[in-house]
């Protein structure tokens, strides 16, 4: 089976006169679950599912233990796991912070070059039904804000989904627009997810 790819525009690249630069992105078939992975290992290696699960549990246990003690952990040829730290407040002087204010943040896995080289297969252009859906570029940001204002003149509020339908934007891009205008104090927000709505800002009719 060949991997599939689609071509997407580079964000914020290009201008109104030139087509945006495109980059290839893998189109995943689906996520292989851990149970499915164990089944494949059992079929390929002859090991029992119980033995595979026992080894995986030990790897998980000792990886968490060693990371918690400050070690980096190599996971076979896949890569090396490490932990990053985070301070609860901004630090400008080493004497201004204590160990109680430092905590574990994220676990990162740096993939080895050998493993990356092993992940090489044939790629094919994804068929139309498998391609990524993209937000419409029919309207400029200024035009979209004008559409939003006109909608809010006729309606008490608008949801993220309704704004997406109005402008042709997908979920994330629609949310980015609305969040940007809330932070710019151009519109207001009421409620909490998943019942959040956006309303006209009182006493302000300024545009972008």
Domain for residue 4, yes or no?
Answer: no
| 15 part of a folded domain | no
Cα(151)–Cα(171) distance, rounded to whole angstroms? 18
Higher pLDDT: 21 or 71? It is 71
Per-residue pLDDT at 123 exceeds 60:
yes
Is pLDDT of 14 > 70?
no
pTM to 2 decimals?
A: 0.56
Number of domains in the chain: 1
Candidate ranges 26-30, 131-135, 188-192; pick with highest mean pLDDT: 188-192
Which CATH number does the domain housing residue 173 bear? Answer: 1.10.10.10
pLDDT at residue 2, as a whole number: 85
Percent of the chain at pLDDT > 90 equals: 48
Q: Which residue has the higher pLDDT, 22 or 16?
A: 22
pLDDT at res. 16: 47
Domain-located, residue 10: no
164 in a domain, yes or no?
yes
Q: Identify which has the larger pLDDT, 26 or 130.
A: 26
Say if residue 12's pLDDT is above 60. Answer: no
Domain that holds residue 180: 141-200
The tens digit of pLDDT for each residue in 32-52 reads 999 999 999 999 999 999 999
Residue 40 is predicted with a pLDDT of: 96
Rounded Cα distance, 68 and 100, in Å: 15
Residue 156 is assigned to a structural domain of this protein: yes
Please give the C-alpha separations between residue 182 and each of 29, 185, 197, in angstroms, as whole numbers.
36, 5, 11
Task: Please enumerate in sequence order all residues whose Cβ is within 8 A of that of 178, keeping only pairs 6 or more positions apart, or say none.
Answer: 160, 163, 187, 189, 198
In a domain, 163, yes or no: yes
Return the pLDDT at 17.
Answer: 53
Residue 68 covered by a domain: no
- For the chain, the average pLDDT equals 85
The pLDDT score that the predictor gives to residue 15 is 52
* 41 located within any domain: no
């Amino acid at each position: 089976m060949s991997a599939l790819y689609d071509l997407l525009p580079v964000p914020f690249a290009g201008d109104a006169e030139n087509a945006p630069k495109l980059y290839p992105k893998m189109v995943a078939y689906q996520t292989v679950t851990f149970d499915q992975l164990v089944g494949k290992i059992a079929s390929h290696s002859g090991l029992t599912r119980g033995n595979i699960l026992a080894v995986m549990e030990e790897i998980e246990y000792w990886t968490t233990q060693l990371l918690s003690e400050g070690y980096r952990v190599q996971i076979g040829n896949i890569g090396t796991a490490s932990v990053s730290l985070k301070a609860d407040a901004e630090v400008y002087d080493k004497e201004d912070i204590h160990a109680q204010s430092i905590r574990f943040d994220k676990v990162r896995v740096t993939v080895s070059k050998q493993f990356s080289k092993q992940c090489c297969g044939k790629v094919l252009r994804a068929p139309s039904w498998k391609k990524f859906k993209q937000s419409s570029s029919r309207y400029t940001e200024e035009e979209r804000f004008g559409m939003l204002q006109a909608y809010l003149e006729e309606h008490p509020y608008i949801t993220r989904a309704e704004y997406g339908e109005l402008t042709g934007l997908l979920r994330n891009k629609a949310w980015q627009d609305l969040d940007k205008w809330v932070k710019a104090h151009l519109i207001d927000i009421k409620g909490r997810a998943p019942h959040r709505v956006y309303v006209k800002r009182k006493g302000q009719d300024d545009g972008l």
